[in-house]
Structure 1
């Protein structure tokens, strides 16, 4: 059953919409030097291929801001400029064609500087992402609330939102980040009750691929299952393409995105006589870009494989140097182990072609 999303405004970011009735979108951030246009464009194109819908780049220097125009001309998804401390970099990024500006209004150095950024964004209709982080809360809020509590985080975000509203602008997306999963969950819940701006979900500094995936899946999964959140970024230490893969799987598990090819595979046991781990990883990699919803099984033995995975559209099960290819639990043919993946991919692509025609 589809979860009802929390009601928010809808905000356009380039050719994408965040909030309202629009689907939850996937974001990521490059880890290249933004000044290196070739490297940054190459990474963004890889992110696009993985399913990223909005991408953010760090803008710590004027050279990085000036690179935005060249980068935008060669990519196909909205580009967000991430700004800290120097408001002139935000204005330069707007002039270069950034589709959204990410700022923490509290670290720009004063109301006049924030006003200048707001005016620049208003002039081009560019939304502002108001970011609040548990590690950079105002001292008075920390003192009043006794630390970085959900109430302190949401109050900080609300103060900044009201400040920009008082400047006559309301095209905003709000993020409230913490590396603490439960603090993030409680904070976003409270924010969803108190404001109607789209929420950008994330567990900041979540960690490596393994630990970061778990923390993000738990934190984002709980909120999304409750209808809270309009766009997500999974923060992982490593290749940002992995962030997109994890984000897609979180949304697919909650029926918030088309599933594409879903791989089911057994955990292996003493009956396994093939390199199931490598085979499952290869199948997952080779099917990641496919759009048709399909369940594909990669099983470790022919004894239980087809039976346990009879609901799979297609599957393979290994033997000792041999394996079988099956469809809906019924045997198609026997295949040599080294040909199993290719044989499976051939059948998968047949199914994909059938839909495309």
Structure 2
């Protein structure tokens, strides 16, 4: 979808983080963060691989101490995507991460140490061709700015971020992206829109501490959706108090809804109503589970009414509609198979889905 109503994408300089382009004309990049103990190489690699399979192009991991830093080279050698080290307070961990092959850092230059320590981190980033994300959260704004702005306001967050960016610019470093995160959706939107008018660095967007699966998905969808609609955002993370592997799925649905990118099938399913005579919820969830294995960008419909289903979902590549002890399977609104017996509908549909996917594969 190319909507002339939507404002154009905010122009930024383009960065290269490993093999991933960020900003400029590059597509919006989905990323997430591991929640494993980074010192556990096997567990961390397994989660990175799962995140990549779910649609992440970048993965961030916490580096808390020397033991975690010592595991980074082994982790990086097994990772299918570029990695970003999340560092606080200890500049030595940042340098160790870069020496281990990680392509990016997430730091706050103001808490990494004095000027000499910032110099060392910047020199290492230059030497290794790494990208630095300057990350400011509402809880990390300096006391002086909090006092002047009356708290962690959007203006205070922006001033804090730009102050840290200047520390890098003074050292001739410009391979930078910026994030401003708050648990308040309104503050997050206001902060990014304010920052977007004051620099041309790529922006990583997200609502921090958004909450559990449903609540966090809603807050992230509203906040990120507004920003992306206004052309703001070059990388994004949906932060959930949940298995991190759920995050990229929500992120991709946000991008799909805005016409900014799609990954895998789109599932269209109707809400239940008084006409529904099948176990529609269970049926839709079973189809959704099967589609997790599919990468083809097809549209699949699961409808609860035989009469209206094919018509309401006529644009779907394939779909099913069920009624009492019967159902139909359709392609592009045309019925291709009628099924008797409610228990037979799902197996019959999966057969037709496999046939469609095989046809698509042969035409590639």
Common topology (TM > 0.5)? yes
- Name the counterpart of 1:175: 179
Separation in 2 of the partners of 1:5 and 1:333? 44
Residue in 1 that maps onto 2:300 = 296
1:230 corresponds, among 234, 242, 249, to: 234
Moved more, 264-273 or 342-351: 342-351
Report Cα offsets for 1:111-161 as digits up to 9, x if no partner.
Answer: 222221111111111110100011111111111112212211111111111
Task: State yes or no: 1:16 paired with 2:20.
Answer: yes
| Superposition map of 1:1-357 within 5 A | 1-2=2-3, 4-258=8-262, 260-335=264-339, 336-357=341-362
Q: Which is worse superposed, 330-339 or 265-274?
A: 330-339
Could you tell me how far 1:166 is from its partner in structure 2?
A: 0.3
- How far apart, in 2, do the equivalents of 1:247 and 1:267 lie? 22
Contact kept in structure 1, 2:55 and 2:263, CA below 8 Å: no
Does structure 2 conserve the Cα–Cα contact (< 8 Å) formed by 1:225 and 1:254? yes
Contact 1:25 1:230 (8 Å CA) reproduced = yes
Q: Does the 8 Å contact 1:50/1:289 carry over to 2?
A: no
Aligned-partner Cα distance in 1 for 2:57–2:279: 35
Quote how far apart the aligned CAs of 1:259 are. 5.1
Do the aligned partners of residues 99 and 259 (structure 1) sit closer, same or farther apart at CA in structure 2, a change above 3 Å counting? closer
What is the root-mean-square deviation in Å for CA atoms of aligned residues? Answer: 1.5
Offset, 1:289: 4.1
Q: Deviations over 1:223-282 (max 9, x none)?
A: 101111100000000111110100010011111113531111111112323221121122
Distance in structure 2 (CA, Å) of the matches to 1:313 and 1:219 = 31
Which of 214-223 and 291-300 deviates more?
291-300
Equivalent pairs counted in the alignment come to 357
Deviation at 1:317? 1.2
* Partner SS state of residue 26, structure 1: strand
Deviation at 1:184, TM superposition (A): 0.5
> Which deviations, in whole Å up to 9, do the C-alpha atoms of 1:203-233 show, x marking residues without a partner?
0000001000000000000010111110000
TM-score by length of 2: 0.94
Partner of 1:57, secondary structure, is strand
Q: Distance in 1 between matches of 2:201 and 2:346?
A: 46
Normalised to the residue count of structure 1, the TM-score between the two structures is 0.96
Structure 1: unaligned runs, 5 residues or longer: none
User: Following the alignment from structure 2 to structure 1, what is the Cα–Cα distance between the partners of residues 308 and 16?
Assistant: 50
Higher mean C-alpha deviation, range 183-192 or range 310-319: 310-319
Instruction: Write the distance in 2 (CA, Å) between the matches of 1:21 and 1:221.
Output: 19
Q: CA deviation at 1:108?
A: 1.5
